[in-house]
Amino acid sequence: MIEIVYERKIREHTSRGVSESSAKTVLLAATLALLLFTPIAQATPATYEPKRLTATIYADGYVWIEYEVEANPLLPSINLTLFGERFEELIVVSGDGLLLDYNFTQNGLEVNTLGLTDIKVSYFTQDLTNKTGRLWTFTIDAPVNITVRLPKELTVVGLNKAPLGISSEGEALTIVFEGGVLTLNYIVALIKTTATQQSEVRWLGWLGYTALVAGVGLVGGVVTWITLRRRRAAKSYVKEKRVVDVEKILVSKPDLRADDKEVLRFLAEAGGEAFEAELRSRFNLPKTSMWRMVRRLQREGLVGVKKVGGQNLVYIREEPENGGGTDVPQNP
């Protein structure tokens, strides 16, 4: 009887010892897992950190953005949020100038960083400015301090925050602002030739001046002859007069910029087509600005361009094309 009770006690102690040993094993494994994974999670940095942001504003509403970030070298790619929705002449490079591959996403770009840390994105956009009458407004939500550059023909008339610093680089004004939402109001002034600029040629000597006039006269004569021939060809061109339902086009493209809509309305009033020179004169824009506007409308598939007497004739397409046409105007 005593032996039976003794054996039962031994079995109970043995079973209890096995259970306690199993619990200790599980607890030790969980502790090791926490020790292994917790430091890794804490040491993983963000995908990228903004470093520098510069915006150069131009008289035609375009803004040249230069955005520098420090990417996580442990990641093969980063999703980079940009400023604006439509980008032109976009380029992505590393700190050493190496071109990097990218894909567009809903909010910006997915950049294949190749493990590099210093990334710079540059592009033109018109999404950061808008115009009411003569007043232009530039708006941006900057994640870091932002440097804004304005050429001499732009005059600042309003700010929503005090600048951190102001300096002059040549004829351009440079203003530094703290990060956050920035609203800057400006107007575009008409630039007139000054008396100093008019007298810059007076230092030329008589012989140099004579040679210059002779050379310019010869080249000018050839250029004038070619220009007159092209103008005659352009003047002899009989424009088509079509009835264009421009409002129907505008309804189908609700995201068009206000200045793009005005160009389409002008073309419709002119019978569906007009020379690019006429558009520049009507909207008081330089060649490059009008060329960009026409190119943008082409990408929307709304207009086409053909050469007539050496001039670009811009016309509204009878049937808008998806993705735009292939007849891209020649860059002036």
pLDDT digits (tens, 9 = 90+) for 73-105: 999 999 999 999 888 889 999 988 889 999 998
Domain 246-316: assigned CATH number: 1.10.10.10
Q: Can you give the pLDDT at residue 5?
A: 47
Q: Can you give the pLDDT at residue 299?
A: 86
Q: Can you give the pLDDT at residue 291?
A: 84
Residues 298, 286: Cα–Cα separation, whole Å: 19
- State pTM to two decimals: 0.52
Which stretches in the chain have pLDDT values below 50? 2, 5-6, 10, 18, 39-44, 192-209, 211-213, 216, 219, 222-223, 323-332
Q: Can you give the pLDDT at residue 218?
A: 55
Q: Can you give the pLDDT at residue 221?
A: 57
pLDDT digits (tens, 9 = 90+) for 148-203: 999 988 999 999 999 999 998 777 899 999 999 999 999 998 654 344 444 443 44
Structural tokens at position 227: 């220009």
Domain 48-188: assigned CATH number: 2.60.40.1730
HEC states along the chain?
CHHHHHHHHHHHHHHHHHHHHHHHHHHHHHHHHHHHHHHHHHHCCCCEEEEEEEEEECCCCCEEEEEEEEECCCCCEEEEECCCCCCEEEEEEECCCCECCEEECCCEEEEECCCCCEEEEEEEECCCEEEECCEEEEEEEECCCEEEEECCCEEEEEECCCCCEEEEECCEEEEEECCEEEEEEEEECCCCCCHHHHCHHHHCCHHHHHHHHHHHHHHHHHHHHHHHHHHHHHHHCCCCCCCCCHHHHHHHCCCCCHHHHHHHHHHHHCCCEEEHHHHHHHHCCCHHHHHHHHHHHHHCCCEEEEEECCEEEEEECCCCCCCCCCCCCCCC
Kindly list the domain boundaries of the chain, sorted by start residue.
Answer: 48-188, 246-316
